[in-house]
Amino acid sequence: MSSAKIAVVTGASSGIGAATVHALSKAGFRVIAGARRLETLEEVTRAAGASAIPLDVRDQESVDNFAAATPEVHLLVNNAGLALGLDPIGTAKEQDWLTMYETNVLGAMRVTRAFLPALEASGDGQIINVGSTAGFEVYPGGGGYTASKHGMKALTRTLRLELLGKPIRVTEIAPGMAETEFSLVRFGGDSHRAASVYQGLKPLTAEDIAECIAWTANRPAHVNIDEMVIRPLFQATSTQVHRAEKD
């Protein structure tokens, strides 16, 4: 039987989650990956030598099935998440806010709740939540997303208090602008609008964040990285970004 540690990565069909599947596999973890788009997920896991299980973090039954198929786990990466729209609060779409909250906060809670017993039983458990700079900053039009990522920060910090004395480390990784499918999803598939978010600067890549996750996961068992904030060089805050002039 292999003695490799087992890692679960949610939202692993694209972007940071997919890159994390590769980074953790390379670091020696046996990775079990979840997302809704099973075919896309399987392309990722096939290439990384990992396993794919369908997962919708908004659906309790799906989370239960996922957890039942994964009885042993040392590391949980709560990465599944999304932003929808950039509407000001005055014209906010309630369904968008609900979806963001249900995915980014309730989803992370559900998956964490399902895996806590196994993480504790591992004797060396770890939870890495992918938050965001939107978890401690705000920007116009970002109300629904920033509220959800502030929520995830609260969840992460609460967990660290509740798990004190147990062998489970808790970390928040908080990226700034990373070019993934994130903006494409946020703007309903509008690729021009999505590309304009990163125009004139070099954004982070999914791999940049995945390396930070893998590094955090590889610290000795007594070392807890509480929070890590990573931004592109030309982003100082959510609203202050330096862009090169267009040619």
Active-site residue 198, yes or no? no
- Name the minimum Å distance from CB 120 to ligand 8X3: 30
Buried b / exposed e across 128-147, counting CB within 10 Å, b at 16+? bbbbbbbbbbeeebbbbbbb
Which tokens sit at 20? 């994390």
193 belongs to the binding site for ligand NDP (CB under 6 A): no
146 belongs to the binding site for ligand NDP (CB under 6 A): no
Single-letter amino acid, residue 134 = A
Which tokens sit at 104? 């980014």
188: left (phi over 0), alpha (psi -120 to 50) or beta: left
Residues 159-178 that bind ligand NDP (CB under 6 A): 175, 177-178
Where helices occur in 187-239 by DSSP H, the ranges are 191-196, 206-217
Residues 67-126 that bind ligand NDP (CB under 6 A): 79-82, 103, 107
Taking CB under 6 A as the criterion, the residue among 134, 159, 173, 184 binding ligand 8X3 is: 134
Partnered with residue 170 across adjacent β-strands are 127
- Name the minimum Å distance from CB 236 to ligand 8X3: 12
Residues 156-195 that bind ligand 8X3 (CB under 6 A): 176-177
Task: Determine how β-strand 75-78 pairs with β-strand 6-10.
Answer: parallel
Q: Which residues does the annotation mark as catalytic?
A: 145
Residues forming contacts to ligand NDP in the complex (CB under 6 A) are 10-17, 35-37, 40, 55-58, 79-82, 103, 107, 130, 132, 175, 177-178, 180-182, 185, 206
